[in-house]
Structure 1
Amino acid sequence: MTTQTITVLDKLAELEQRFEELEQLLADPTVATDPQRLAQLGRERAELEEIVTVYRQLKEIDRQLAQAEELLEGEDPDLAELAADELERLREEREAIYQDLRRRLVPKDPNDEKDVIVEIRAGTGGEEAALFAADLYRMYTRYAERQGWKVEVLSSSPTELGGFKEVIFEVRGRGAYSHFKHESGVHRVQRVPVTESSGRIHTSTATVAVLPEADEVEVQIDENDLRIEVFRSSGHGGQSVNTTDSAVRITHLPTGIVVSCQDERSQLKNRLKAMAVLRARLYELQRRKQEEERTGIRRAQVGTGERAEKIRTYNFPQDRVTDHRLKLTVNNLAAVLDGEIAVFVQELQALETAERLRAAGIS
């Protein structure tokens, strides 16, 4: 059995036809006497109005393109030259509008507009992996700053050389999850570590997990399911950095998930941050379980951290960054690590758009 597909333009024409039907229904006096139906039709019309308006802009550009093509083939050379310039502008404008409409047809991920919690952990490579984890943390914070979003560290385990065994942080800003969600996976670095005296290139990894932030309404947590422990915060090398038991460790007994937070001097603040991470992990666990039940596919987000399980490689000797899902290489590693990852974000979003359109039966 094959799945029937329709083109983007066919789908847009179908939506415009439905929009026109709704306008006729809303003008029908008999509908006005039924407040419930009137409200329902009004909501449907409002949902379609924006995309139909943009689609009509596309049709107007198509009309202008047809006129310009006629002039281009005419006998007047001056008009033909003007038409050639106009065609180039109109084609660029049409492509931009078409891609916008294409994105609007994609069934939305309900988490896309949410704030996000990002967890980075050093993988294979010891101290060098921890230093790379710190590089990734800086890359993501710089990218978030470029978007005007706020970043707050929720938990961290720094090393003596300035790396991180683990760092968990929150990014607050509209659409943060839609930008960060494709960063989940194993990131690989190839370079000469600062700890290497012979100048030999090493390969190390860090894992990234991206979780949509969940509020208390979305994830109900029974206090009886929690084991909460307090202890003194420790710094580099394990030395105590606080004389009070302000650090908090929360264990969710049904799942075995453990979250620790010691960055704040206040036990209450550490507990609130730990609970935010716990809610996000439980929400992700619930979301993945539903997805697996729906698709029958079991997938781990970050794998084990082994070198072979990579989504992106950062190669210092060759000054390049390669995203293996996109087969896309950028030759400006310093800029990427300074937060210029928009090219990867946009291409991965486009790939997701194409996949979602296919799943919805739109070619």
Structure 2
Amino acid sequence: MLRQAPIAPLVHAPRAQLTRFLFAPAADTTAHLPPALLQRARALTTEHDALARSLESDFDSKTARRMGELSSVATALREWERATSSIAELNGLLGSKDKELRDMAAEELESTNGQLSALSRKLSASLTPKDPYAHMPCLLEIRPGPGGLEGRFFADTLFRMYKLYLSRRGYRSQVIKYDTVEAAGDLSTAAGESALQEAVIEIQDPGAYDLFRGEAGMHRVQRIPATEKNGRVHTSAVAVWVLPSFPEGGDGDAKDFNNPESDFYIDPSEVKIETMRARGAGGQHVNKTESAIRMTHAPTGTVVSMQDSRSQSRNREDAWKLMRSRVALIRREAREEAAAQLRDNVLSRHRISRSDKIRTYNYNQDRVTDHRAGIDVYNLVDVIDGGESFDKIVDAVKDWLVSGDIAAMMAEQEAAAAAAAVAAAAAASVTKKAEK
């Protein structure tokens, strides 16, 4: 069961038209896209058509690539324009004296309005700037937050949820780190949860980062712990990080980790590497060989440890992979923070940091609430089993991310226009004074 709740606006009041469009329920979306969005779509479609004409006489790989990038916008705009044209014609037929014709037009109008709703959102999504890491595989890091042992148990539940979801959807993945706390006795629940300290899952399919980036943040759980004797509900939390992962062998472009211009590049001289004996379960191997690896990146203070494999070389390889992903994310966040300062006067903060609550899993109410997308999904068991109920949450969060990206794009364009206007006014003032 899925319930759509009101979504908090991401932009300030002067951008009311954009806000109404971005956050209206699908059934309420109209043909009236924000003028700036429509203008941008038409400009890009004009560019697409011009490139197509030029390729007819002279093929150029760079031109062809750019045309391919614009094809989704051109296609979406043409579909949207056909739908709006059909609606105009059908509205005209509603005034016909022929009752049968009026009834047919009314029925067709209802169907076409529904199509237009989807086409409006498709057009908007095609205009959204692509995340620079959208095409890449990713790493999911899961760590317990506040809540003590109960937080560790729920961290293992989320680990299991993601594994089941990946298996059901057919994604290629591998667990590159799975550490539980060291303690005497069997630290597990009746549900089979272990006291997880940290887990890392690598999702190897291209585009995995774009799909899972909405999972980053603090996941809160409200339930009665298995160790609770008085039946009291406890609240704990789990932090999830989503990092772009560089595919094996590189992808041959500017993101290659051997390229100093890449976010993934790390100067080996800046990394301190230590070897040590593995700790925890592992039979005779534990404390016998120095197979565990710990890396420290001096400029950022990032520390990565890896001991899951009995092979030091494999642990070293996995540690480098995780280190590159963490450092790349730090570098990107620094750029985004600088860019955000340029639009703070136009756009309110629409991103949620990892320390903020993004989702609540309420066991007593059989409900999962995503606080960003504003939805409640009733069927908690199916969610944590990675079932179709979890699909609904993933899809809703993706829509929320697209809405935020569009709002950011519009705000940046407005900020740039305002800056240009100020510069033009200043230049005009200087010219006027010079003429005097």
Using structure 1 for the length normalisation, give the TM-score: 0.85
In the other structure, the counterpart of 1:158 is 180
**CA separation of 1:254 and 1:9: change in aligned 2, threshold 3 A:** closer
Determine the C-alpha separation between the residues in 2 that align with 1:300 and 1:255.
Answer: 22
Which 10-residue stretch deviates more, 72-81 or 122-131? Answer: 72-81
Which 10-residue stretch deviates more, 137-146 or 290-299? Answer: 290-299
In the other structure, the counterpart of 1:306 is none
Say if 2:335 is the partner of 1:290.
Answer: yes
Aligned to 2:274, the other structure's residue is in SS state strand
In the other structure, the counterpart of 2:227 is 195
In the other structure, the counterpart of 1:135 is 157
Determine the C-alpha separation between the residues in 2 that align with 1:146 and 1:69.
Answer: 45
Say if 2:233 is the partner of 1:184.
Answer: no
2:138 to 108, 113, 116: 116
Displacement after TM superposition at 1:233 (Å): 2.6
In the other structure, the counterpart of 1:100 is 122
Say if 2:114 is the partner of 1:88.
Answer: no
Which 10-residue stretch deviates more, 335-344 or 167-176? Answer: 335-344
**CA separation of 1:301 and 1:359: change in aligned 2, threshold 3 A:** closer
Contact 2:214 2:401 in 1 (8 A): no
* Counterpart AA for 2:176: L
Aligned to 1:11, the other structure's residue is in SS state helix
Determine the C-alpha separation between the residues in 1 that align with 2:41 and 2:299.
Answer: 47
Displacement after TM superposition at 1:282 (Å): 0.8
2:384 to 303, 327, 337: 337
Displacement after TM superposition at 1:45 (Å): 4.0
Q: Deviations over 1:8-55 (max 9, x none)?
A: 33322333334445566667x8xx6xx8xx766555444434422332
In the other structure, the counterpart of 1:359 is 408
State the number of aligned residues: 349
* Counterpart AA for 1:273: D
Contact 1:234 1:240 in 2 (8 A): no
Say if 2:304 is the partner of 1:259.
Answer: yes
Structural mapping, 1:70-81, within 5 Å: 70-81=92-103
In the other structure, the counterpart of 2:294 is 249
* Counterpart AA for 1:100: K
**CA separation of 1:188 and 1:49: change in aligned 2, threshold 3 A:** closer
Which 10-residue stretch deviates more, 243-252 or 111-120? Answer: 243-252
Say if 2:317 is the partner of 1:272.
Answer: yes
Determine the C-alpha separation between the residues in 1 that align with 2:402 and 2:152.
Answer: 34
In the other structure, the counterpart of 1:11 is 40
Q: Give identity over the alignment, percent.
A: 36
* Counterpart AA for 1:190: Q
Displacement after TM superposition at 1:225 (Å): 2.4
Structural mapping, 1:37-56, within 5 Å: 43-56=65-78
**CA separation of 1:79 and 1:168: change in aligned 2, threshold 3 A:** same
Contact 1:187 1:312 in 2 (8 A): yes
Structure 1: which 5+ residue stretches go unaligned? 304-308
Aligned to 1:341, the other structure's residue is in SS state helix
**CA separation of 1:261 and 1:176: change in aligned 2, threshold 3 A:** same
**CA separation of 1:155 and 1:41: change in aligned 2, threshold 3 A:** closer
Contact 1:155 1:260 in 2 (8 A): no
**CA separation of 1:124 and 1:254: change in aligned 2, threshold 3 A:** same
**CA separation of 1:44 and 1:276: change in aligned 2, threshold 3 A:** closer
Query: Aligned-pair RMSD on alpha carbons?
Result: 3.0
1:302 to 349, 354, 363: 354
Structure 2: which 5+ residue stretches go unaligned? 1-13, 19-33, 182-186, 189-193, 247-255, 415-436
Determine the C-alpha separation between the residues in 2 that align with 1:257 and 1:226.
Answer: 9
Contact 1:235 1:241 in 2 (8 A): no
In the other structure, the counterpart of 1:314 is 361
Determine the C-alpha separation between the residues in 1 that align with 2:88 and 2:111.
Answer: 13
